[in-house]
Structure formats: C-alpha cells, structure tokens
Amino acid sequence: MLAIIGGSGLYALKALGEPQSRQVKTDYAADAVAVQLYTSGSGPVAFIPRHGQSHRLPPHRVNYRANIAALAELGVEQILAINAVGGITAAMGPGALLIPDQIIDYTQGRESTFFDENLTEVVHVDFSQPFTTSLSHRLASACEAANQSSDSPRSIQLQGVYGCTQGPRLETAAEINRMQQDGCDVVGMTAMPEVVLAREKGMDYAMLALSVNWAAGIVPGTITMADIQAVMNEGMGFVHEVISRFLSAE
C-alpha cells in the first residue's frame, strides 16, 4: 500500500472523498496514531498529516517513530512525502518544487531509530541514497503531467539536497550561508528522522518539497508566517494535482 505524509498545508486528500479513520497503536506513543484510509482507482491509500490533524505539533515534537511504525503496521511499503521548505539556491524561490535525492541532517536529540534497545545485534542501515529513485521518477512524471495541464507551469528540480534543521525557529543568515556551502538546495525541519525510519522499515520513500519562502538572508528582510502561508495556499492546489496524477498513473 502507498501512504502520503502531508506537511504544513496538507491535512487531507480531498479529491479522494471521505476517508475511513483508523487508530493504530504503536510501541512509540501512548496515544494511537490516527491514519486516514482512502480508496483511489489503484487501491487503498493511507494518509497522515505529519503535524497532527490541526497542525499542533512543531517539527521537533512530531512523533516520527509512531507515524512510521503505524504505517508499517498497516502494510505500507511506499511513502510519498510532501514538505514545505525554504529555498536556498537561485532555482528554489517561493513556489518552486524540488524532488530531493540527498539529505544533510542538522537536527539534534530526535528519536531517530527503531534499532535502539533490546537488540540481539547492532544494526546500521545503508543510507547512501536516502530516497528511492524509482519512486522519485514516478513523482517527477506526475509533476510533469501536472505542469502540462497548468496555466502557470512551475519550476521543478529533479535532484537536490534537503538540509534538515531542528527548528522551530528559522535559521540565521550565517547558518543558511553555511548550508549553502554544504551544498543544500533547500532547508526544512521535518525530513529527518522520517526518511531514515522509513528506510529502517524497508519502505520506499520519495519527497515533493514546495518552497514557501527564501531561506534566511538570501533576500533582504524578515521572513513572515503570513508570506509563507500565502505561498503555501497558492502552491497546495498544484501539489493536490500532482498527487492525483501520481495516483492515476499507478
């Protein structure tokens, strides 16, 4: 089964009608994880809004282990993630899209593995290529199809580096300068440890990142939530179109 994990601005798959709600108990949270189950033409699709149903959980408080364990429990094998990010490189201005192929993890203190306690042996998963190329290619085709039917085609970059910061504060200009030197195209707060936990469960994972602002110090001025919200609202229509194309091509 495919799952979609929605980031800021994406809380349901409206085009697929009313979901069934499943409460999935895991070893990683006292509360069950609420998973929405939809039926698309190609079969069932699970959906989790990463920050909770009413966007209450900041990035460092999301229970990534519970979310991924719940999806694994339901038999999910592929994850398509939607993430709002700040743009660092010239091509990643507000409204642009990236399908990243690499990550640099700048987070601290997050519960970032299932292989933690009571092990019979130590486990180190291979993470050289954090994203699944075949799934990323399918996502790229869906983006191209959505662009073809759109009056305002978007810039979509098919490879790049996602730098994951701890948040919830935004970065300093110097931090973004360093991330740029490290090779980051975009900055966000939610890819890690989500991507590695999916790898630990043997799941495929691809991400569509929507730039909702220029990262700190790239252009003069302050970054406001109102500006971010406006770009996000405007961009989510396109993201929904990409998801529809992705599901109908399955």
Which of 89/213 has CB closer to ligand HPA? 213
Minimum Å distance from CB 153 to ligand HPA? 22
Number of residues that bind ligand HPA (CB under 6 A): 12
Minimum CB separation of residue 228 from ligand HPA in Å reads 6
Q: Give the pairing type, strands 43-49 and 97-98.
A: unpaired
Minimum CB distance to ligand HPA, residue 85 (Å): 5
Residues in 177-236 at the binding interface with ligand HPA, rule: CB under 6 A: 187-189, 212-213, 215
* Residue 46: φ, ψ to 5°: -95, 150
Cα separation, 187 vs 80, whole angstroms: 18
Residue 144: how many other CB atoms lie within 10 Å? 14
Residue choice 5, 170, 184, 242 for contact with ligand HPA (CB under 6 A)? 170
Contact partners, residue 196, CB within 8 Å, separation at least 6: 112, 113, 125, 127, 130
Which residues inside 9-38 make contact with ligand HPA, applying CB under 6 A? none
Cα distances (Å, whole numbers) of residue 10 to 42, 100, 123, 128, 239? 21, 19, 34, 29, 9
CB of 143 to ligand HPA, least distance (A): 19
Handedness of CA 69, 194, 57, 1 (dihedral sign): negative
Which residue is closest to ligand HPA by CB?
86
Of 40-99, which residues contact ligand HPA (CB under 6 A)? Answer: 84-86
Q: Which is nearer to ligand HPA, 84 or 242 (CB)?
A: 84
93-152: which residues touch ligand HPA (CB under 6 A)?
A: none
Q: If we measure between CA atoms, which residue out of 198, 209, 248 comes closest to residue 10? A: 209
Point out which residues bind ligand HPA (CB under 6 A): 84-86, 165, 170-171, 187-189, 212-213, 215
